[in-house]
Structure 1
């Protein structure tokens, strides 16, 4: 039985990290093997706080070793990494990817380099951002940064579309074959802008920005998960980019209609496989 290994955070209530990623990939017909880097009661944006803990990096290594013991690493089609709670967790992820590639050279590594955003700045523990930039992103087949994370990787400051394209091309030169910029906040107001970059070119999708009482959490994890699932199912990157944006918008629209700021992924699950909107990518370079 083939599967996708997803190494990221987990919340008991709501949808963030693996709690946002696992079900959508399963809904698309894929087996998912989650390993949690942290486990919290809820995501960190609640004013009441949260409870829980970060797991030790050795937990990742132990679980991957267990998968190896039962002969499953060769059946891993893709690895996704998201939020990492420590620098050594990043190294454990790198080791897992290397082990899997040794047994299945066709396995993809998708790195969602969770660091922060322009409003919050860097939100990860000491050493994590450095290992994301210097270790995990260069070895990834696909990276899914936001604008803040793309700048951290490339050193290119972004305030317009031309600079975003320059940053994407530089990112491709640094190792990844596919760059999906999950959010470009500094482009047009009132729309949600995202870019796909491959050696074939760069493409932009702009979709309406929906209104929420607070910004939903876990959207980036949802984007990475659906895009990965699309690739594993055989879609070309541009087709996967289009489907991902349409599906994520459908889930967000469902969420908004319910008056929620926690993603309504289960209620919106049909959008994951049969999106009701279609936002076409536009070539930009």
Structure 2
């Protein structure tokens, strides 16, 4: 029973954080051991607000120890981290990754460096961005930033495709072996993602659908799909291509049904076998 630990936020209703990430990885054939950093009734973009709270970092430490006690860490091939509710939780992630790699040196650490999106009601506590930039991202095998998060890590503005390539290549010198930029919003009118590893760089594009309100949880979905592809030991480019196509299938189903919450369950068959194909484009 091979598995992945997913340490992210959780919503009771809808699909964001672990609520967006866990099922796709399960649907792609993996056991997922979720650890929640916060638990909210719903995502934070609702005008009506939300209820719930963040968990103490000690929960991550205790749950990690519990997994170690029963030998579950040795069964894990990856850990994914997303939204963190406190600096202390970031420290707990460091310890979790170190423990996992002691049990399985080949295990991947995939870091989705959520630094906040005030326009979506997503606010992170003081100090978290610094922990992501200085500790978690450099120690990660794979990082999955958006354009803003990549610009912060690389220390440069990104205004065009050439800037994005330079930023990815710089990021690869700072610790990570693979960079997947989950949304490059300044390079095209299409939804554009970028992949960089070794000396290779590619973009994947798909149609940009016009929602009345911005979707929440798409980045968490992308991170989970890419992680599952890597765990299947697919070539990096194949994992990238699949995550773009499968994520689009979920987004398209959401659009067709006139919904705001991601329709992950309705689109579940295409998580495994997406119907629409989008070729990768190499960039230099």
Query: Which TM-score bucket, shorter chain as reference?
Result: over 0.9
Q: Give the structure 2 partner of residue 194 of structure 1.
A: 193
Question: Using the alignment, how far apart are the partners of 1:10 and 1:122 within structure 2?
Answer: 13
Q: Give the structure 2 partner of residue 270 of structure 1.
A: 269
Q: Give the structure 1 partner of residue 13 of structure 2.
A: 13
Superposed structure 1 runs of 4+ greater than 4 Å apart: 117-122
Deviation at 1:211, TM superposition (A): 1.5
Q: Give the structure 1 partner of residue 142 of structure 2.
A: 142
2:253 maps to 1:254: yes
SS at match of 2:109: strand
Q: Once the two structures are superposed, what CA deviation does each residue of 1:194-223 show, in whole Å capped at 9, x if it has no partner?
A: 100001311011211012121110000000
Whether the 8 Å CA contact 2:11–2:40 is kept in 1: the answer is yes
Deviation at 1:158, TM superposition (A): 0.3
Deviation at 1:116, TM superposition (A): 2.6
2:201 maps to 1:226: no
Q: Give the structure 2 partner of residue 128 of structure 1.
A: 128
Report which stretch shifted further, 218-227 or 69-78: 69-78
Q: Give the structure 1 partner of residue 175 of structure 2.
A: 175
SS at match of 2:209: coil
Q: Give the structure 2 partner of residue 54 of structure 1.
A: 54
Deviation at 1:123, TM superposition (A): 2.5
2:107 maps to 1:98: no
Whether the 8 Å CA contact 1:26–1:32 is kept in 2: the answer is yes
The TM-score with structure 2 as length reference comes to 0.98
Question: Using the alignment, how far apart are the partners of 1:108 and 1:120 within structure 2?
Answer: 29
**Structure 2: gaps of 5 or more residues:** none
Q: Give the structure 1 partner of residue 160 of structure 2.
A: 160
Question: Using the alignment, how far apart are the partners of 2:198 and 2:253 within structure 1?
Answer: 35
The TM-score with structure 1 as length reference comes to 0.98
2:109 maps to 1:116: no
Whether the 8 Å CA contact 1:205–1:282 is kept in 2: the answer is yes
SS at match of 1:61: helix
Whether the 8 Å CA contact 1:114–1:145 is kept in 2: the answer is yes
Q: Once the two structures are superposed, what CA deviation does each residue of 1:210-256 show, in whole Å capped at 9, x if it has no partner?
A: 12121110000000000000000111111100000000001100000
Question: Using the alignment, how far apart are the partners of 2:121 and 2:115 within structure 1?
Answer: 8
Whether the 8 Å CA contact 1:117–1:148 is kept in 2: the answer is no
2:279 maps to 1:280: yes
SS at match of 1:93: helix
Whether the 8 Å CA contact 1:60–1:92 is kept in 2: the answer is yes
2:242 maps to 1:243: yes
Whether the 8 Å CA contact 2:205–2:244 is kept in 1: the answer is no
**Structure 1: gaps of 5 or more residues:** none
Question: Using the alignment, how far apart are the partners of 2:195 and 2:38 within structure 1?
Answer: 29
